[in-house]
Every structure is written in C-alpha cells, then in structure tokens.
Amino acid sequence: MTGPRYTDLTQTLPATVPFVGPEAQERSRGAPFLGRVGANENIFGASPFAIAAIQAASADLWMYGDPESYDLREALAAFHGVGMGNIVVGEGIDGLLCYLVRMLVDRGDAVVTSDGAYPTFNYHVAGFGGVLHKVPYAGDHEDPKALFAKAAEVDAKLVYLANPDNPMGTCHSGAAIMAALEHLPEGTLLVLDEAYVELAPESTAAPVEIEDPRVIRMRTFSKAYGLAGARVGYALGAEELITSFNKIRNHFGMNRAAQIGALAALKDQDWLAQTRTKVAEARDEIGRIAADNGLSVVPSSTNFVAVDCGRDGVFAKAVLDGLVARGLFVRMPFVAPQNRCIRISCGRAQEQKLLAELLPLALADARKG
C-alpha cells in the first residue's frame, strides 16, 4: 500500500505556520487569556453598520458569494478614484500574497525582503520554491534603498516592503517611497503592503499612479476597519497585473457575508475616524505605561506599539513569557535587534489597565532571571 506522491518541494518544507495563534496558546496553558493584545487586531471593533449587514446576510448564506466581488470592487474603485479593473479582492492580504507569489515566482527565482519583516510573505515564497534574500532594517525602519539594491544584485522578481511596518510600527512618507522607487531595478515588482496605512499620518500613502507597472499595493479590512475575522483584503495595481489574478485565484474564496460586511464598513468613514482617534489615544497610553516602568517605545503609525525592553531578545522574551503566564497575550519581533522589543496592540481601558498591572510584575521576574 502506498501513500500520496508528494512533490520534492513539499517534502523539503516544515509543517508549520508563521504564527502560533492565541487560541493554540490558550489550549496549551489550559486557560483563556484575560487580554488579547498580541495579534494586531482592532479591539475597538467594526462599524455597527458592518456588523448589522453581516447579521442580515446570515439568512442567505446558502448562496455562494459573488466570485467577482463586484459590489465591493465597484465601491472600492469609486473610493480610490480608479477603475474596477485595477482592484482584486481576496482572502486578506495573506491570500493575495499567496496568489501573487504563485503568479510570478518559479523554483529558484529570487525574492527580496527585510530580515524580520512580515513572515507570511516568506512562507508563501518558500511554498512556491522561491529563494529569499534578506536585508537588515535601518534602525527600526525597513530600508527601501537597501532592498532595491539587493533586488538589482540578485535579479529579484519581487521586493516586499510594508509601510507602515510590521512588527515595528514605523513608516516612511509616501514621498520617500516614490523617491526610492526610482532605484527599483527593471523587471522587479514592488509589493507595497499598506495594511496599516489608514492609521498612519496622511502623508504615508505613496501616491503611485494606478497603471504604474512597478508597484502593487495591498490593503485590508482587518486592521483599521476591524474585520480581521472576515478575511477581506484587496490589491490596487495596473489592470494587466490585476487581471492576471483571475487566472489562478480561488474564485469562490470570498464568502458572501464578508463581502457585504466590508462594503458596509467602507461606507462608514465616520466610524473609521473614531477608530483612528481611539488608536492614537491608546498608543499614547501604552507609551505612558512603558515610561512608568522605565521603558521606551518605538514611535508607531499603526494600531500596535513596539515597547523597547532595554536589553536583548532573551530579556524581552522573558518579559513576554511573564505577561503570557499572567494571562496577557502579546507577541514580539523575531530578529535582532528588533527582538529587544515586545509588541502590544492598542486596546480598550480594560486591556490598558491589565497591561499597567502586569508589566511591572513581568519585568521584575525577567530582571531576577
């Protein structure tokens, strides 16, 4: 009796995912978390109109979702002032990254990213046999100049750049991105992940001409719009590139309720403005809590804050473990020197209170250790 005949590539890959979810950690510790501030979710929640729209759609879930996501794409096109052919909707940015890598990366093709940047992109590149080349951060910022220089050196098909950045929360101005773009080598596509751009200063979004073939921009409803569980992302790019997604994407990957909820969320820009205010206030409060404990923070343009624990990654991991053991779910960057930090999502008053209570205890344990 024989089993499946796996591809050579599949046999070389580990059976792991980039993130260990809070649910898995709760199962391991045998208790739920008291506070969930580690996954960069928008704890302030989605627009009430989006929630109501999803609830109303539940009776019709016997129907498949529109495989063209027509209504949502039409609204997004009007919102951004582009054509519908310039937008593709997918299962979060993660899903769109998978499709993009599948379209462009063959076995052995070079891809460039920052060492310590969003690991799901790396996961997809490995899954399709690409070869990752990494450059270090410049301080706590991704370094477009170094990324594009490396792309020229290795003849990269893709360069990944998140602006604002995850996991550090820093950002470049859109003008700086456009200036750096002049050094992007011919034949290389810049994947500009703008998952947090709605929470950043207005000058952060790069004013890329929509038919510029050098860039594809990724956006999501998971962060500022508070619909992480619905898994709705979209990409903006030249029509020829966007049309190519239809060759390989899962045409029924977007569920009906998610499409309807995202459309309602997009229409409620007042709620988005309120969320921006709440996030800004929470960032300031996390900074105050850190300062009360003798720590500093990395200035953030996202809905999370990287708190500098002041030593190395071993010490920061001890602080993180102390918080997790006491019921506060947080995460940290993977790579030095950014791993001197722990990363804390913006929360409500109850999450902030819990952080203020538990951080001194976790720090004391880490210092003893």
Q: Is 186 exposed, middle or buried (0-12, 13-18, 19+ CB in 10 A)?
A: exposed
- Closest CA relative to residue 230, chosen from 80, 46, 17, 19: 46
CATH of 20-45+270-368, one of 3.90.1150.10, 2.60.40.10, 3.30.450.20, 3.40.50.300: 3.90.1150.10
- Whole-angstrom distance, CA of residue 105 vs CA of residue 275: 37
What pLDDT is recorded for position 15?
Answer: 87
Distances in whole angstroms, Cα of residue 29 to Cα of each of 33, 327, 351, 363? 9, 9, 20, 21
**Domain ranges (residues) in the chain:** 20-45+270-368, 48-267
pLDDT at 20: 86
Confidence tier at 132 by pLDDT (50, 70, 90): very high
Overall average pLDDT of the 281-308 stretch? 98
Q: Beta-carbon neighbour count of residue 111 at 10 Å?
A: 28
Position 369 confidence tier, pLDDT thresholds 50, 70, 90: confident
Give the model's confidence band at 2: pLDDT under 50 very low, under 70 low, under 90 confident, else very high.
confident
Task: Round to whole Å and give the CA distance between 360 and 339.
Answer: 19
Percent residues over pLDDT 90 in the chain: 97
Q: Can you tell me the distance from the alpha carbon of 165 to that of 286, in angstroms, rounded to the nearest whole number? A: 18
pLDDT digits (tens, 9 = 90+) for 330-359: 999 999 999 999 999 999 999 999 999 999
Residue-wise pLDDT for 302-321, tens only, equals 999 999 999 999 999 999 99
The pTM score is: 0.96
DSSP sequence for 139-173: TTB--HHHHHHHHHHHT-SEEEEESS-TTT-----
Q: What is the DSSP code string of 37-73?
A: -SS---TT---HHHHHHHHHHGGGTTSPPPTT-HHHH
Q: Could you tell me which residues are beta bridge partners of residue 49?
A: none
**Residue 147: partners with Cβ closer than 8 Å, 6 or more residues away:** 112, 113, 114, 135, 159, 161
- Mean pLDDT confidence for 113-138: 97
Q: What is the pLDDT of residue 108?
A: 97
User: Over the chain, what is the mean pLDDT?
Assistant: 97
The C-alpha atoms of residue 243 and residue 85 are separated, in whole angstroms, by 7
Segment 21-35 mean pLDDT: 94
Average pLDDT over residues 214-236: 98
Radius of gyration over every alpha carbon of the chain, rounded to an integer in angstroms: 21
User: CA geometry: angle at 257 spanning 44 and 73, to 5°?
Assistant: 90
Q: Are strands 233-236 and 87-90 parallel, antiparallel or unpaired?
A: antiparallel
Cα separation, 342 vs 345, in Å, equals 10
pLDDT-derived band of residue 17, with 50, 70 and 90 as boundaries?
A: confident
Question: So what's the pLDDT on residue 62?
Answer: 96
pLDDT-based confidence at residue 38 (cuts at 50, 70, 90): very high
CA distance 131 to 174: 28
For residue 35, is pLDDT > 80?
Answer: yes
| CA dist., res. 343 & res. 111, Å (int) | 27
Measured in residues, the chain has a length of 369
The pLDDT tens digits for 44-90 are 999 999 999 999 999 999 999 999 999 999 999 999 999 999 999 99
Helix residue spans in the chain (DSSP H): 8-12, 22-29, 48-57, 70-80, 92-104, 119-127, 144-154, 174-181, 239-244, 256-267, 269-292, 313-325, 349-368
Domains 20-45+270-368 and 48-267 share a fold: no
Q: Measure the CA dihedral 350/352/358/360, to 10°.
A: -150
- 48-267: CATH number: 3.40.640.10
CA dihedral 166, 336, 9, 99 (to 10 degrees): 10
Give φ, ψ of 79 to 5 degrees.
Answer: -65, -40
How far is residue 131's CA from residue 108's CA, in Å, rounded to a whole number? 6
